[in-house]
Amino acid sequence: MNTTREAKGIEKNMSKATGKPMNGSTFLGSLYTVEAVLILNNNLGKASPEKEMGTGQQQQQQQDSGRVYVKYYTPPHTESEEAFNTLKKQIAFEKNLMSKTKKQDNEIMLLDNHLVLYKKCADVTLFLVGPISGNEILLNEAFGAFKGSLELVLNSSGIDRKNILEHYDMVLLAIDETFDNGIVLETDAAAIASRVSKPITQEPVQLDLDKGLLGAWGFAKSKLQELQQGL
């Protein structure tokens, strides 16, 4: 793969999305590259942000309303501290996202001063949201790792709502291995998947204790006979 050519292609797409020229110095951003990781149903429903619920109830409501997975990060001293600090703001942003992505297939866009990378997969869409002033190259690599690790973890089942929910624990682990509080930890999809996937269980070694004891007794008996003959 030609890394230089790939980087220039990304710069071109980023320039189109942001409306400003991108160069190498633009990529030197904060460690806090990611503002949100989202997996939304393509038929995003309505939620009730005013109702207070426990964590389990919130997760169930998210999945029922089309929010298959949502995680917002609040890095210090950034606009995202205010942009996504309430559930109502989050849902409004998500509905706006879905509305915009239904009308285009560029897989990258600028929305409300946030840079958004996305990929439609069957009945869900994967989103990675970052600040417009962030590290665009790293954000692109992180999105590739996010999507690629899910493909590996879900294997041949494919990325769709049903498979994600059936392997939800592994999906959560894959995301946690990729991002931590908005910081990109890993950009190698295979490495992420290898940490998440369950190791192949080996057959336990069966020990024949009776045979072992008899063998030890026979050895001791033969040694005793040798000693007696030598006396």
Helix (H, G, I), strand (E, B) or coil at 131: strand
Instruction: Report yes or no on 219 lying in a domain.
Output: no
What is the structure's pLDDT at 147?
Answer: 96
Confidence of residue 63 (pLDDT cuts 50, 70, 90): low
User: Is 92 part of any domain?
Assistant: yes
The pTM is what? 0.68
Whole-angstrom Cα Rg for the chain: 27
Residue 209 CA: distances (Å) to CA of 85, 206, 216, 221, 222: 63, 9, 11, 18, 20
User: What is the number of domains present in the chain?
Assistant: 1
CATH number at residue 124: 3.30.450.60
Assess if residue 225 is contained within a domain. no
202 in a domain, yes or no? no
Q: Is residue 203 part of a domain?
A: no
Q: Half-sphere exposure of 135 toward its Cβ, with a 13 Å CA cutoff?
A: 16
Which comes out higher in pLDDT, residue 67 or 23? 67
pLDDT, one tens digit per residue, over 132-179 is: 888 889 999 999 999 999 999 998 778 999 999 999 999 999 999 999
Strand 108-111's sheet: what is its strand order? Answer: 67-72, 36-41, 124-131, 114-121, 108-111
Does residue 230 belong to any structural domain of this protein?
no
Q: How confident is the model at residue 2 (pLDDT cuts 50, 70, 90)?
A: very low
Residue 223 in domain: no
CA distances for 75 relative to 18, 31, 50, 87, angstroms: 22, 9, 25, 17
Residue 226 placed within a domain: no
Using the predicted structure, report yes or no on whether residue 4 has a pLDDT greater than 50: no
Domain that holds residue 26: 3-196
